[in-house]
């Protein structure tokens, strides 16, 4: 049995390490040891599901998952609907959490996305919660709910049109007292699809020649707005998301294959481009939207 230790903190900053471990797995059945997990965000939850699904594909066997020892973490995972999705990906060992009250606000529980109907359902479910959280916690205007719904719809639509494979989405509001000193909303969307390089290859790889790679494909889509559609009016979702996230002084990162690209605001010290990572299928998108700062 191959044991994969899940780090004590599993979020949008540390999930790459877990995905890299999965990319290097052999054929021996795996156990994800999450007993020491003390903190997890939407990227950690969705990333753990993605890691488990990819492990099952590689090894032809469902991996095992040892649940966190912390009752608080187990309760939070249960409240976020993690175990509902995890039971389809893992053989779960240990006591699952019960719903518990917490001081964080669930915007969207872990939700699988496989078709347009799922996207519409997600947006419908989130709009009312988003209105309360964005205005009261983040200080955004009432009209920002529409822009937020567009972002959520576009990142989910990316799974269907770009990846052509199933995926998961989750969103949560937190008070980042120690890291940023204000509330943030974290959105995570991950899929098991073709990734950006394969998706854009037919339409754009020839112009890049030998330079065509995961990194150049991400730059082409993220910075230059290239899509897999020959119609210039289609597939502009990433650009729309990036512009709106910038208006709100937020951060967005996308990992695909061996590279990760990001739009990094002044409050974030993440590198804007990382290459040479272990190859991992699909794409992984993380968005962090901070509360407005009073001027």
**Nearest-5° Cα angle at 36, 33 to 38:** 125
pTM, to two decimals: 0.93
Residue 104 has a pLDDT of 57
Residue 103 has a pLDDT of 47
Residue 295 has a pLDDT of 60
Distance, in Å, from the CA atom of 255 to the CA atom of 40, rounded to the nearest integer, reads 19
Token code pair at residue 212: 């065509």
DSSP assignment of 204-225 equals HHHHHGGG-SHHHHHHHHHTT-
Residue 158 has a pLDDT of 82
Which of 69, 39, 46 is closest to 285 using CA atoms? 46
Residue 208 has a pLDDT of 87
Which of 77, 291, 295 is closest to 186 using CA atoms? 291
pLDDT, one tens digit per residue, over 203-262 is 888 888 899 999 999 998 898 877 765 444 444 578 889 999 999 999 999 999 999 999
What number of other Cβ atoms are within 10 A of residue 294's Cβ? 5
Q: What's the distance, Cα to Cα, between the start and end of the chain in Å?
A: 56
What domains sit in the chain, N to C, each tagged with a CATH number? Answer: 1-100 (3.30.750.24), 103-295 (3.30.565.10)
Tell me the pLDDT of the chain (295 aa) as tens digits.
899 999 999 999 999 999 999 999 999 999 999 999 999 999 999 999 999 999 999 999 999 999 999 999 999 999 999 999 999 999 999 877 665 444 457 899 999 999 999 999 999 989 888 999 999 999 999 999 999 999 999 999 888 876 677 899 999 999 988 788 899 999 999 999 999 999 888 888 888 889 999 999 999 889 887 776 544 444 457 888 999 999 999 999 999 999 999 999 999 999 999 999 999 999 999 999 999 987 6
What are the backbone dihedrals phi and psi of residue 145, each rounded to the nearest 5 degrees, phi first? -60, -35
Tell me, rounded to whole angstroms, the distance of Cα 217 from its chain centroid.
Answer: 19
Token code pair at residue 254: 């996308």
Burial of 55 from C-beta contacts in 10 A (0-12 / 13-18 / 19+)? buried
Residue 97 has a pLDDT of 65
């Amino acid at each position: 049995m191959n044991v994969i230790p899940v780090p004590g903190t599993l979020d949008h900053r540390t999930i790459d390490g877990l995905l890299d471990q999965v990319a290097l797995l052999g054929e021996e059945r795996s156990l994800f040891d999450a007993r020491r997990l003390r903190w997890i965000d939407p990227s950690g939850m969705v990333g753990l599901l993605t890691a488990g699904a990819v492990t099952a594909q590689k090894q032809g066997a469902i991996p095992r998952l040892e649940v966190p020892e912390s009752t608080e973490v187990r309760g939070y995972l249960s409240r976020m609907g993690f175990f509902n999705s995890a039971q389809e990906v893992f053989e779960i060992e240990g006591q699952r959490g019960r719903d518990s009250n917490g001081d964080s606000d669930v915007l969207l529980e872990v939700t699988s996305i496989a078709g347009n109907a799922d996207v519409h359902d997600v947006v419908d479910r989130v709009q009312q919660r988003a209105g309360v959280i964005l205005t009261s916690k983040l200080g955004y205007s009432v009209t920002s709910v529409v822009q937020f719904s567009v972002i959520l719809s576009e990142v989910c639509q990316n799974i269907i049109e770009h990846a052509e494979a199933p995926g998961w989405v989750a969103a949560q509001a937190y008070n980042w007292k120690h890291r940023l000193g204000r509330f943030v909303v974290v959105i995570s969307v991950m899929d098991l699809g073709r990734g950006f390089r394969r998706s854009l290859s037919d339409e754009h790889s020839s112009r890049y020649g030998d330079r065509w790679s995961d990194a150049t494909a991400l730059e082409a889509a993220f910075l230059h707005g290239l899509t897999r559609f020959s119609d210039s009016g289609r597939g502009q979702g990433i650009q729309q998301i990036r512009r709106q996230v910038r208006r709100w002084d937020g951060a967005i990162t996308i990992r695909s294959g061996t590279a990760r690209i990001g739009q990094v605001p002044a409050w974030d010290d993440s590198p804007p481009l990382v290459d040479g990572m272990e190859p991992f299928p699909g794409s992984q998108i993380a968005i962090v939207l901070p509360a407005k700062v009073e001027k």
